[in-house]
Amino acid sequence: MKPLIKKELGAIFNSPAGVGVIVLFGVVASFLAVKDIFVVGSGSLRPFFALLPWVLMVVVPALSMRALSEERQSHTLEVLLSLPVSEEAIVIAKFLSLAATSAIALVLTSAVPVGLAFLIKLPLAETLLSYAGMYLFSLTAVSVTLFFSACFANQILVFLSAAFLLFFTMGFSLDLLSSFLPRSVQDILYPLSPLAHLPLFQKGVLDAGDCIYFAATIVLFLWYAVLSLKRRT
């Protein structure tokens, strides 16, 4: 599995597009944080963490869309599947490499809270758990994109499918649903939204239910990706 992880990380960081997406994310995310602090006058990072999932909804699929679809396009997936490596190992290796990439991307935004900590007293637990929530959201987006990457060879189709599914489910927690859906339906859809499981992280509270939601979603989509690969054998 280590060679697969090393190969995937090399493909990302040796690619100008991959590095460009990571750097651009760091710049845009840092700008959003600085805007709230110096333009709006907010001394809290909560507005930043409220906007960050919407940025990650685009950035993570952009980084992850090539993971398996490129293997399909270049016909190297058949070579991988012919090796004594299980479909589970392939998907997990891809996932772990993208998980590391997502962590690096989030670390690039840490300069803002670190700098802000010298100016005002930031609640440490709230900030760290907010980042933990963002990371779990990123891993969820990675797993969703890996599933579509296992299904489609076209990277643009993978990106659009993953971004749309994330956007669609994130919309379950928005108030606009109340205008055209009955309350009973809203109550069913709301817990399915990843945004519904981030507020407690942003308040510095670690809730087992929120962790279970992200873990279950990640495992579910990774398993779907494995099943999609198994159907090719």
> Angle of helix 155-170 relative to helix 66-73, nearest 10 degrees?
150
Q: Give per-residue burial for 150-177: e unless 16+ CB within 10 Å, then b.
A: bbbbebeebbebbbebbeebbebbeeeb
Quick one: average pLDDT of 141-165?
A: 94
Report residue 85 as tokens. Answer: 């490596």
Mean pLDDT of the chain: 84
Q: Is the pLDDT of residue 117 over 70?
A: no
pLDDT tens digits along 50-63: 889 999 999 999 99
Q: From CA 190, how far away is CA 193, in angstroms rounded? A: 6
Q: From CA 204, how far away is CA 15, in angstroms rounded? A: 36
Q: Is the pLDDT of residue 37 over 70?
A: no
> Residues 123, 129, 131, CA angle at the centre, nearest 5°?
105
Q: Of 36-40, 51-55, 92-96, 179-183, which range is least confident?
A: 36-40
Q: From CA 129, how far away is CA 213, in angstroms rounded? A: 16
Q: Are 60 and 141 in contact (CB under 8 A)?
A: yes
Torsion angle, CA of 58/61/64/67, rounded to 10 degrees? -150
Quick one: average pLDDT of 119-123?
A: 69
pLDDT band (50, 70, 90) for residue 163 = very high
Q: From CA 190, how far away is CA 226, in angstroms rounded? A: 28
